[in-house]
Amino acid sequence: MNQQPAATPASLLVVCLCAEWCGVCRDYRARFDALQLCFPLAQFLWIDVEDEADLLHPLDVEDFPTLLLAVGDEGRFFGPLTPQIETLERLIRIQTQDAGAPALRDQAVTELVARIRAAKPV
């Protein structure tokens, strides 16, 4: 993991969707939390899919960890990710370096980003 802070837009949202019972998620959490130090302007959230089922509805999360990356109101990545923090770091860097990266065209993800931003403001 690169220890130098990166220039990150304040509107970058990084969400890990997991479950408390998932051992892979529990092992991943400390590394996920530590990565926030490299991107101090980003908002990192850990959301338990069972505790926050109403927030996630109608989306189903069945594979862990599932990551959501958004810039502003636009979802940029939504899906399962190998639990290697280097992969997440690379995804974040791509989003911070390519302002013209395309948004996801999934209305359910766009609505999820809006619900998360409303429920968990910075």
pLDDT tens readout for residues 4-31: 444 455 589 999 999 999 999 999 999 9
- Can you give the CATH number for the domain in which 75 is found? 3.40.30.10
In a domain, 4, yes or no: no
Number of folded domains that form the chain: 1
pTM of the model: 0.89
The DSSP letter of residue 64 is S
Q: Is residue 77 part of a domain?
A: yes
**Residue 5 in domain:** no
- Distance in angstroms (rounded) separating the CA atoms of residues 122 and 119: 10
Whole-number pLDDT of residue 6: 46
The parent domain of residue 68 ranges over 12-119
Nearest to 70 by CA among 114, 109, 13: 13
Interval 41-59 mean pLDDT? 95
